[in-house]
A and B are shown apart, each in its own frame.
Chain A
Amino acid sequence: MSVNIVLLLVMGVMYAGGVYLLLERTLTRVLLGMILMTNATNLLILIMAGAPGQSPIVEPGLDPGEYSDPLPQALTLTSIVISFAVTSFMLGMIYRSWKLGRRDEVLVDTEDVKVAEQPSFDAEEDAELQEETSEFLDEDEDPNADYEHATAVNPATGSLPVRHQQDGTVRVRPLGSRQEKSSRAGRRAAQEPEEGEHPVGYRGHDDHLPDEDERAGSPRARPPRFPEQHRDDGQDTRDQAGPGARGRRRKGEG
């Protein structure tokens, strides 16, 4: 079997680039990495067809070895279609993630964080609020529904500082818009979501119905560390409940 060295090199470079991009945290780069890897694999299948020959349509008098191998082409075609479908689905998810919270990153599983923090978990303090993971609970049945959002951010700290946590979940907001928004006191469902204002898990969008899971897994669903502090004027800042709140809370704890 003869091998085209150029194709082989191209494939190697694509794999290398794909692996490198996959290791990034940004979703778009992960997607590009996926595309590179799947296409490198398509190339590999093609290389495995061996040397190119005549088109595989039967011609009288032609030796069977003269034809190109048609099977790898069929396999490549199938895998191109599949990778195309997966790529577009992934694009959809990235767009969704971006729409939900202007986050183009792989987010941390909050349950993992919780489990990891368990040894220092203070049952007395943290028992103020527990998170909901049910998909059955109605919103109006949940006594914590308002409370949780009202207390998820520490209002004492004022504007959000720029700080990159390990999980990369802190974001900056201009101070002006925050004040403006906080004057709008209403249930969060009535608030106009501004693009980029909300973390993943924000439940104000109209294109889908709110789901308990959104709150359950979102970073702000973690129980507050110092509920007493939050309770007083938390009403005004509920729309900022975001990953940033967690970062600061954790800092205040330590």
Chain B
Amino acid sequence: MDQGLVSLAPLAVLLPILGAALAFVLVRRPRAQIAATVTTITVTLVVECLLLAATWDTGAVAVFIGGWEAPWGITLVVDRFSALMLVVSSAIVLAVLVYASAQGVTDQDQGGPVSIFHPTFLILVAGVSNAFLAGDLFNLYVGFEILLTASYVLLTLGGTGPRVRAGVTYVVVSVISSVIFLIAIAMIYGATGTVNMADLAGKLAQLDPDVQMVLHVMLLVGFGIKAAVFPLSFWLPDSYPTAPAPVTAVFAGLLTKVGVYAIVRTETLLFPGDRVNVLLLWVALLTMIVGILGALAQNDIKRVLSFTLVSHIGYMIFGLGLSNVLGLGATIFYVVHHITVQTSLFLVTGLIEQRAGTANVDRLGGLARISPLIAILFFIPAMNLAGIPPFSGFLGKVGLIQAGVGAQTTMAWALVIASVVTSLLTLLVMVRVWTRAFWRRVEDVEHPPAKLVLAVEAQEATVAHASARAAAAGTGGSVDAERRAPALTGPRGPTAGLVAPTIGLVALGLSFTVLAGPLYTFADRAATDMLVRTPYIEAVLGEEAAELAALDVDELQDRGIVAPPDRENSGPGDLQPLDGADSEGNDAGTRPGGDVPGEPGGTGEADDGEGGRP
């Protein structure tokens, strides 16, 4: 395998850690700190884009740390799925970091704890990257712990009452999930004598089916808590909304997706076949419905979004539970889409809070008039989340529903219906927020926050002033000068540093519509790789082990367990229906290999511009 470019993979973990160290050194100099962290993440993003470009055609490549060969040393594996996740996560992180820095600069007079934020944030990024790259279970555990420990600090930033309360729940739940995961690792090691995932792929299949089931379910429970699937999702809406907006944004975008990533790996690499598919589909169904019903009951936008986050995890589990290329490919697409959209929604909520002083929809109103920019920035990802046609949310859902219909089982049909219902309910939730916070007149709000009232007054004064001026003088030049003066008396609007990254994320979300063709093709190839398993195992252990693993798949079939389709079965003919979805975008026939989605320059949206991607 071509090791050249891919041997940069450890940098994805190393750079953020070094950047965090640098940021700690610069703890007394906020601006230098911001510069250092933003540069670090930018460089990391570039490295990861290179990794994605390198794996676009070749598929999985393994990097052996310190030259120790696979079953013994620590292995980092870059395959298509992990490279894609790395790029998307870093793009998100970069936007959130710029946003948080701008917010920190804006609030500096109020003394936000900026100094600890940046290093911790980079540690979080290192943990996420490590989890995506980990080639053995214990390294995955370490990655989880790095990101969790950083997230404990970020969640309780400032140590205020509600955050400590939320933090206690979060820490205890996370520790329990980690303990379950660690127990599973210990038992897997006891049973097989290895923790290398590629090695396990072969060795787990030789165990007694009941033992396999125990190990399998333990891993799923551990990851399920992290991914917040239904019976294990109670902690998420409790703890996320108390954190600052950028922190919640990155948690919502990334942390649950790391859990989903781990579940995907468990289902495809470690325990292939459809043994728990019915369970997964039930979990997906309940996650969708219960999550969105929870969202309906909430008044605070942050909490609404937290519940929709839980709900939409169900879609990803749905695609995974079908365990075919169509479903898994759609899951990968949906994960990418959802990371972006959910993060941008939380960032916009931060803008709303900053502008209006609250995120409680009962007290919001008239935002569309006061700030059309925020309205547009909220509307696009909200409709994207709900799955309105031109957006990537629609394309992801179409892919999932096609896969579900293709599966031809009762359970899959139930999931198809549930996902349509959930989509409708998401639309309802989003429209409720929209009509109340944006369209309602401020006079109709019972207790608008002072900031909102001031903003409305300032805006009305500006309009009145300007029209009076225009009527009286009728000249262009002086009106502009006059218009600015009264606006200054109103509350400060969001600064460019806050708006630009939000615009960038919204544009990135929109770009998935345009790039849906290559992205779907890529996702399907990644899914095929994962379901066949051999590319991954071959990269880590060489060809012989890969052939053995392929034999294991045959054995599974003998035992009546339906194995995932082979590469031959899932050729272009199978993937064809998805190309229909691409016709919504305008780029269905793009040759895969050239364009890197998520790369800053690649997002060519006309209406929002590119200024946001620094």
Query: 1/0 per position for B439-473, CB-CB distance to A under 8 A?
Result: 00000001101110000000000000000000000
The A121-154 residues at the B interface (CB cut-off 8 A) are 123, 127-138, 141-143
Q: Are A213 and B160 in contact (CB under 8 A)?
A: yes
| Given known A-B contacts A48-B187, A141-B357, A209-B111, A96 and B164 have beta carbons under 8 A apart | yes
CB within 8 A of B161: which of A1, A37, A100, A136? A100
B149→A89 contact, CB < 8 A: yes
Q: How large is the interface on B (under 10, 10 to 19, 20 to 34, 35 or more residues)?
A: 35 or more
A48 to chain B, nearest CB (A): 4
In the assembled complex, the Cα of A128 lies from the Cα of B152 at a distance in Å of 36
What are 16 A-B interface contacts by the 8 Å CB criterion? A22-B176, A34-B172, A48-B186, A71-B195, A75-B189, A79-B141, A127-B446, A133-B358, A134-B357, A135-B244, A137-B357, A137-B450, A209-B158, A213-B162, A214-B160, A217-B166
- CB-based nearest A residue for B167: A93
**Chain B CB within 8 A of A16 CB:** no
Contact of A214 with B168 at beta-carbon distance under 8 Å, contacts A130-B447, A132-B358, A137-B451 already known: no
Q: In the bound complex, how far is the Cα of B242 from the Cα of A97, in angstroms?
A: 15
- Assuming the contacts A22-B176, A44-B183, A89-B171, asked whether A130 and B238 have C-beta atoms less than 8 A apart, the reply is no
Binding site for A on B (CB under 8 A): 107, 110-113, 138, 141-142, 145, 149, 152-153, 156, 158-169, 171-172, 175-176, 178-179, 182-183, 185-187, 189-190, 195, 238, 241-242, 244-245, 297-300, 302-303, 353-354, 356-360, 362-363, 446-447, 449-451, 491
CB contacts (< 8 Å) of B185 on chain A: these are 45, 75
- Verify A216–B162 contact, CB threshold 8 A: yes
**Interface contact A137-B358, CB-CB below 8 Å:** yes
Contact indicator per residue, chain A 25-50, by CB within 8 Å of chain B (1) or not (0): 00100100010011001001101100
User: In the assembled complex, how far is the CB of residue B204 from the closest CB belonging to chain A, in whole angstroms?
Assistant: 15
**In the A-B complex, the 7 residue pairs with the closest CB atoms:** A217-B162, A201-B161, A48-B190, A200-B161, A137-B357, A214-B160, A136-B354
Measured between beta carbons, the chain B residues less than 8 angstroms from A211 are 158, 160
CA distance A93 to B178 in the complex (A): 19
- Which of A108-116, A155-163, A184-192, A246-254 participates in binding chain B? A108-116
What's the Cα separation between A98 and B158 when bound, in Å? 15
A203 / chain B contacts, CB cutoff of 8 Å = 160
Q: A204 vs B179: C-alpha distance in the bound complex, in angstroms?
A: 37
Given contacts A109-B165, A127-B446, A131-B360, contact A208 B160 (CB under 8 A): yes
* Chain A neighbourhood of B156, CB < 8 A: 93, 96
> Considering the chains assembled together, what is the distance between the CA atoms of A85 and B146 in angstroms?
11
**CB pair A208 B238 closer than 8 Å:** no
Q: Which of B190, B238, B363 contacts A112 (CB 8 A)?
A: B238
A120 within 8 A of B: no
CA distance A141 to B171 in the complex (A): 34
Q: How far is the CA of A142 from the CA of B448 in the complex (A)?
A: 11
Q: How far is the CA of A100 from the CA of B195 in the complex (A)?
A: 44
The CA of A214 and the CA of B159, in the complex, are separated in Å by: 9
Interface residues of A (CB under 8 A from B): 1, 22, 27, 30, 34, 37-38, 41, 44-45, 47-48, 71-72, 75, 78-79, 82-83, 85-86, 89-90, 93-94, 96-97, 100-101, 106-107, 109, 111-112, 115, 118, 123, 127-138, 141-143, 199-203, 208-209, 211, 213-214, 216-218
Q: Which residue of B lies closest to A201 (CB)?
A: B161
- CB-defined contacts of B299 to chain A, threshold 8 Å: 115
Q: Which residues of A lie under 8 Å from residue B360 when comparing CB positions?
A: 130-131, 133
Chain A residues, CB < 8 A from B356: 134
Partner of A142, one of B153, B242, B446, B449: B449
Contact of A133 with B302 at beta-carbon distance under 8 Å, contacts A85-B149, A109-B165 already known: yes
Nearest B residue to A132, CB-CB: B358
B274 → chain A closest CB, angstroms: 29
- Contact at A93–B171, with CB atoms within 8 Å? yes
Task: Please measure, in the bound complex, the distance between the C-alpha atom of A13 and the C-alpha atom of B178, giving whole angstroms.
Answer: 20
In the complex the two chains form, is B353's CB within 8 Å of A136's CB? yes
A118, B300: Cα distance in complex, Å: 13
Find chain A residues with CB under 8 A from B353 CB: 133-137
Q: State how many angstroms separate the Cβ of B170 from the closest Cβ of chain A.
A: 10
Give the dominant DSSP class at B's interface.
helix
Q: What's the Cα separation between A85 and B581 when bound, in Å?
A: 48
Q: For B300, what are the chain A residues with a Cβ–Cβ distance below 8 Å? A: 111, 133
Query: When the two chains form their complex, are residues A115 and B297 in contact, meaning their CB atoms are under 8 A apart?
Result: yes
In the complex, are the beta carbons of B357 and A213 less than 8 A apart?
no
How many pairs of A and B residues are in contact by the CB < 8 Å rule? 182
Complex contacts, B149 vs chain A, CB 8 Å: 82, 85-86, 89
- Is A96 a contact partner of B159 (Cβ separation < 8 A)? yes
Cβ-closest chain A residue relative to B111: A209
B449 and A137 within 8 A (CB): yes
| A-side contacts of B242, CB under 8 Å | 213, 216-217
Q: Check A90 against B450 for contact (C-beta < 8 Å).
A: no
Interface contact B189-A72, CB-CB below 8 Å: yes
A residues less than 8 Å from B358 (CB atoms): 130, 132-134, 137
Question: Given the known A-B contacts A41-B182, A132-B449, are A214 and B357 also in contact in the complex, defined by CB atoms under 8 Å?
Answer: no
Expressed in whole angstroms, the Cα–Cα distance for A242 and B110 within the complex equals 26
Q: A85-B149, A111-B300 are in contact. Are A41 and B186 (CB under 8 A)?
A: yes
Point out the residues of chain A lying under 8 angstroms from B451, CB to CB.
134, 137, 141
B158 close to A41 (CB less than 8 A): no
Question: Which residue of A has the minimal Cβ distance to B137?
Answer: A75
Q: Is the CB of B182 within 8 A of A30?
A: no
Do A93 and B164 form a contact, CB below 8 Å, given A37-B179, A134-B358?
A: yes
**Please, which residues of chain A bring their CB within 8 A of the CB of B359?**
133-134
Contact B176 A118 (CB under 8 A): no
Residue of B nearest to A114 (CB): B299
Q: Are B186 and A45 in contact (CB under 8 A)?
A: yes
Assess whether B171 is in contact with A78, with CB atoms less than 8 Å apart: no
Q: What residues of A have a CB within 8 angstroms of the CB of B172 in the complex?
A: 22, 30, 34, 90
The CA of A216 and the CA of B359, in the complex, are separated in Å by: 11
Complex: how many Å from CA A45 to CA B190? 8
Chain B positions within 8 Å of A134 at CB level: 353-354, 356-359, 449, 451
Using Cβ atoms and an 8 Å threshold, which residues of chain A touch B138?
A: 75, 78
Q: From B446, which residue of chain A is reached at the shortest CB distance?
A: A127
Contact indicator A201/B160 (Cβ below 8 Å) = yes
Cα A172 to Cα B455 with chains together (Å): 44
* A100: chain B residues within 8 A (beta carbon): 161, 164
A138: which B residues are within 8 A, CB to CB?
Answer: 110
Cβ B110 vs Cβ A111 within 8 A = no
Q: How far is the CA of A89 from the CA of B171 in the complex (A)?
A: 9
How far is B302's CA from A158's CA once the two chains are assembled, in angstroms? 37
Nearest Cβ on chain B to A49's Cβ, whole angstroms: 9
Interface centre among B142, B159, B298, B447 (most CB of A within 10 A): B159
For the complex formed, measure the closest distance between the CB of A148 and the CB atoms of chain B, giving whole angstroms. Answer: 12
Cα of A211 to Cα of B242 in the assembled complex, Å: 11
Chain B nearest CB from A216 CB (Å) reads 6
Q: How far is the CA of A78 from the CA of B142 in the complex (A)?
A: 8
With A89-B149, A136-B357, A208-B160 as given contacts, are A217 and B186 in contact (CB-CB < 8 Å)?
A: no
**CB within 8 Å for A86 and B162 given contacts A44-B183, A111-B303, A130-B363:** no
User: A71–B363 contact, CB under 8 A?
Assistant: no
With a CB–CB cut-off of 8 A, which chain A residues contact B141? 79
B414 to chain A, nearest CB (A): 28
Residue of B nearest to A69 (CB): B193
Do A136 and B183 touch (CB < 8 A)?
A: no
Give every chain A residue within 8 A of B238 (Cβ-Cβ). 109, 112
Q: Which residue in chain A gives the minimum CB-CB distance to B106? A: A136
Residue in contact with A89 in the complex, picked from B152, B187, B244, B450, CB distance below 8 Å: B152
Q: What residues on A are CB-neighbors of B163 within 8 Å?
A: 213, 217
A86 and B107 form a contact (CB under 8 A):
no
